[in-house]
Amino acid sequence: MGMWASLDAMWEMPAEKRIFGAVLLFSWTVYLWETFLAQRQRRIYKTTTHVPPELGQIMDSETFEKSRLYQLDKSTFSFWSGLYSEIEGTLILLFGGIPYLWRLSGRFCGYAGFGSEYEITQSLVFLLLATLFSALTGLPWSLYNTFVIEEKHGFNQQTLGFFMKDAIKKFIVTQCILLPVSSLLLYIIKIGGDYFFIYAWLFTLVVSLVLVTIYADYIAPLFDKFTPLPEGKLKQEIEVMAKSIDFPLTKVYVVEGSKRSSHSNAYFYGFFKNKRIVLFDTLLEEYSVLNKDIQEDSGMEPRSGEEGDNEEIKPKVKNKKQGCKNEEVLAVLGHELGHWKLGHTVKNIVISQMNSFLCFFLFAVLIGRKELFGAFGFYDSQPTLIGLLIIFQFIFSPYNEVLSFCLTVLSRRFEFQADAFAKKLGKAKDLYSALIKLNKDNLGFPVSDWLFSMWHYSHPPLLERLQALKSTKQD
């Protein structure tokens, strides 16, 4: 009876209170679910102290223990930062942080001579203040993660000066993109009439395509140094492989990822007949600055242009070579190019745009509901930007959680398919050893709780990928 009575009481509340209560309740439900999953995985880190028999050939006990301790530290950090984030979000909602920041933005606009009719100007000030608040409250967590956890486990390569310069640069570049795009989007919504959601969706589609096109050529080089991969055997073999699957490769770059971290990666970008491949220097055994000490110790010459190039990299002595041999790099690229050949990139863009269109359509349906604004403390005005924030971030949150899980499942399926593609290219053996090396270099822990990995992992667990490759590794 008591439960039904409380449900009846909830339904008798004004709509604004019901909406607000439901948003908070859902937020805490998701947080508690994520915490439950993280605790299951944490138990595995704590109890799996010896290399399981099936991993005996893959991982030595020293690396296994290192990765176990690294993941334990990361999970502790994740718990406290997640708790802080949830409490901060709740307090902002309970104490009317959003309407307060909106009024404060209006006051700043007033000082500059802009009245309340300048809603777009006020929206931009609101965005600037909100992102500044977010950057400042996130900074201590980011500093701790980089200079305590990543440092302790030998991944961090940044000095404090480099880190701060990078953070300021990121903030400025973000504002240079966010503010003009937001002002245009708000303007389109204002003047778009009944079908504004179609124009808004088309605008965001164009913006995302432009950003994808210019990111690697104009934005990424602001943060990292890109150099063409020198002529040689590796470049030749990459070009031959690209040609064999009709991949329209125009350039291959090496990015100096070692300036920030010893984690490694590779990706491709570009539209139509203008594709480029980017390899992190930490992926390439021959090329990694982090192997320089080992090269010099063995009498090898460091590559030209290395001296004095990396004054912001902290000297670290690593006793083991990092990165992959050329054959393994080609196998990793075979996997990445598999994503292109199998249409995974296009499928992801189509899903993303269908979702975007649906969200704008539902936004158009809901934007007129004054109780949505009232639920978050906006009784007298219904600013468009606040409508976007409320609907996209809070009202859509159950839908976003379901979509995110479905995309994670799809991503794992795509990863298996890309591995199978590399296998078809005859790269099974090299991809097998590359996956083991990359897992080792990045201190990935190869044992996972089934529920945690099902919910979170965008890539299948290492052992599953190796078993799928093993079946025809000898081919």
**Is 459 labelled as part of a ligand binding site?**
no
From CA 234, how far away is CA 240, in angstroms rounded? Answer: 10
Tokens of 224: 């990292």
Question: Among this protein's residues, is 464 annotated catalytic?
Answer: no
SS3 assignment for the chain: CHHHHHHHHHHHCCHHHHHHHHHHHHHHHHHHHHHHHHHHHHHHHHHCCCCCHHHCCCCCHHHHHHHHHHHHHHHHHHHHHHHHHHHHHHHHHHCCHHHHHHHHHHHHHHHCCCCCCCHHHHHHHHHHHHHHHHHHHHHHHHHHHHHHHHHHCCCECCCHHHHHHHHHHHHHHHHHHHHHHHHHHHHHHHHCHHHHHHHHHHHHHHHHHHHHHHHHHHHHHHCCCEEECCCCHHHHHHHHHHHHCCCCEEEEEEECHHHCECCCCEEEECCCCCEEEEEEHHHECCCCHHHHHHHHHCCCCCCCCCCCCCCCCCCCCCCCCCCECHHHHHHHHHHHHHHHHCCHHHHHHHHHHHHHHHHHHHHHHHCCCHHHHHHCCCCCCCCHHHHHHHHHHHHCHHHHHHHHHHHHHHHHHHHHHHHHHHHHCCCHHHHHHHHHHHHHHCCCCCCCCHHHHHHHCCCCCHHHHHHHHHCCCCC
From CA 297, how far away is CA 434, in angstroms rounded? Answer: 25
Residue in the block written with tokens 């790269």:
427
Question: Among this protein's residues, is 419 annotated catalytic?
Answer: yes
**Is 286 labelled as part of a ligand binding site?**
no
Measuring CA to CA, how many Å separate 59 from each of 150, 165, 257?
21, 38, 25
Which of 34, 256, 336, 430 is flagged as catalytic? 336
**Is 153 labelled as part of a ligand binding site?**
no
Residue of 284, 279, 275, 247 lying closest to 266 (CA atoms): 279
Which of 256, 286, 419, 449 is flagged as catalytic? 419
- C-alpha angle 398-399-404 in degrees, rounded to nearest 5: 100
Bind-site residues:
335, 339, 415
Catalytic residues: 336, 419
Bind-site residues for Zn(2+):
335, 339, 415
